[in-house]
């Protein structure tokens, strides 16, 4: 009898076969194989677990943010206080009122008196400013503008009883010297250029240019001298005499005001009022300046004269420079000149050295 073939017993699958390699304790296999694989819920081998931020990290972040905000607020308050005080050194000392010397820089051609007048007026009203120094480096400028600043200097000296001194750097001529003569004292270096007491009137005659371009100026006026100084034609003898009388009158005002400022007479100043300039060294014996010395000498002498001992504290007006945003918002004339200004050819009267 044939024996039935026996089926070999099936292997026991209840116990998984031993793994050929042991995974590191920090590595974990995915729960399921593809296509059901998902990222391991724990860090993969070779990537250390992410560390949590400490509480001190967030404290430092918050503290730094508060410090930046406080700094911005302080800067804004400082800017507001500076604008209210009208000075560039709005510090605790500036607010508290320590004795100081106000310094105003008068540079370049003088055409607008309002800015300098405002600065002189603010320093004159500030009780912490014991004296004012006009630091001058200018050839002069408009006759009326120079005269305005001169009058403001004299007014502050008389009404506020505040000493104002002029310190000429390289150039203090014509209208700039006019202003300096209204001060209590004038300092200049040996090689500084001062003087040029005189008046000049000028404009550009472009009549020949119009003829070349075959253009004609048409003017209708009432009054014999209404169009005197027309830049499209030559002056008549009557117009020449008319303008000369104006220049002579301004010249007399210049001489007289300088004589008053220098505590002398018109007759003493008139021989010097030829329009010429002198060096500081030459100006001393002529009585046009008081002392040879630069800005430092003027500063120390002025401080001592008003009772400030030691190193004097200097205060200058706030800087009025405009940023790009201010230029764009205040008006376009700074970027694009108004074409109508090209037609402004009125004769100009100047206290200016050429």
Known catalytic membership, residue 211: no
pLDDT value at 239 more than 50: yes
What is the C-alpha separation between 306 and 161, in angstroms, rounded? 11
pLDDT confidence tier of residue 205, bands split at 50, 70 and 90: confident
Element spanning 135, H or E: strand 129-138
Question: What does the pLDDT read at residue 158?
Answer: 95
pLDDT value at 182 more than 50: yes
Q: Which of 115, 211, 226, 322 is catalytic?
A: 226
Known catalytic membership, residue 226: yes
Question: What does the pLDDT read at residue 310?
Answer: 85
Question: What does the pLDDT read at residue 349?
Answer: 77
Query: Across residues 202-219, what is the average pLDDT?
Result: 86
Q: What percent of the chain has pLDDT over 90?
A: 51
**Cβ contact 162:131 at 8 Å:** yes
Query: Across residues 290-307, what is the average pLDDT?
Result: 96
Place of tokens 């371009």: 213
* 208, 250, 339, 341, 347 from 344: Cα distances, Å: 18, 22, 10, 5, 9
Question: What does the pLDDT read at residue 74?
Answer: 76
Q: Which of 138, 146, 174, 196 is catalytic?
A: 174
- Backbone φ and ψ of 137, nearest 5°: -150, 80
What is the C-alpha separation between 131 and 143, in angstroms, rounded? 26
Exposure of 339 in the CB half-sphere (CA atoms within 13 A):
0
What is the C-alpha separation between 131 and 90, in angstroms, rounded? 18
> 261: helix, coil or strand?
helix
What is the C-alpha separation between 68 and 65, in angstroms, rounded? 5
pLDDT confidence tier of residue 50, bands split at 50, 70 and 90: low
pLDDT value at 97 more than 60: no
Question: What does the pLDDT read at residue 76?
Answer: 72
What is the C-alpha separation between 61 and 65, in angstroms, rounded? 6
Kindly list the structural domains of the chain, giving each domain's residue range(s) and its CATH number in brackets, ordered by start: 86-318+342-352 (3.90.226.10)
């Amino acid at each position: 009898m044939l024996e039935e073939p026996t089926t070999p017993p099936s292997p026991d699958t209840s116990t998984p076969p031993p793994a050929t390699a042991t995974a590191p304790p920090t590595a974990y296999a995915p729960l399921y194989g593809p296509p059901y694989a998902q990222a391991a819920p724990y860090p993969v081998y070779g990537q250390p677990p992410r560390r949590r931020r400490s509480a001190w990290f967030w404290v430092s972040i918050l503290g730094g943010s508060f410090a930046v905000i406080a700094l911005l607020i302080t800067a804004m308050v400082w800017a507001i206080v500076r604008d209210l005080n009208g000075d560039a050194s709005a510090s605790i000392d500036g607010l508290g009122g320590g004795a100081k010397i106000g310094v105003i820089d008068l540079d370049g051609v003088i055409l607008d008196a309002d800015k300098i007048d405002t600065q002189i007026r603010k320093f004159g009203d500030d009780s912490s400013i014991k004296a004012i120094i006009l630091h001058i480096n200018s050839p002069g400028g408009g006759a009326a503008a120079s005269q305005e600043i001169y009058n403001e200097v004299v007014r502050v000296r008389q009404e506020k009883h505040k000493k104002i001194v002029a310190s000429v750097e390289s150039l203090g001529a014509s209208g700039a010297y006019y202003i300096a003569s209204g001060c209590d004292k004038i300092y200049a270096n040996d090689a500084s250029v001062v003087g040029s007491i005189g008046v000049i009137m000028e404009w550009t005659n472009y009549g020949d240019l119009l003829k070349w371009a075959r253009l004609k100026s048409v003017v209708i006026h009432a009054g014999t001298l209404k169009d005197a100084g027309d830049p499209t034609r030559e002056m008549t003898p009557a117009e020449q005499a008319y303008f000369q009388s104006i220049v002579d009158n301004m010249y007399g005002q210049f001489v007289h005001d300088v004589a008053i400022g220098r505590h002398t007479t018109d007759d003493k100043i008139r021989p010097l009022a030829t329009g010429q300039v002198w060096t500081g060294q030459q100006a001393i014996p002529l009585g046009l300046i008081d002392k040879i010395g630069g800005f430092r000498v003027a500063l120390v002498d002025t401080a001592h004269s008003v009772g400030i001992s030691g190193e004097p504290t200097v205060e200058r007006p706030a800087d009025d420079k405009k940023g790009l945003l201010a230029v764009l918002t205040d008006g376009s004339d700074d970027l694009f000149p108004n074409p109508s200004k090209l037609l402004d050819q009125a004769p100009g009267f100047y206290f200016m050295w050429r």
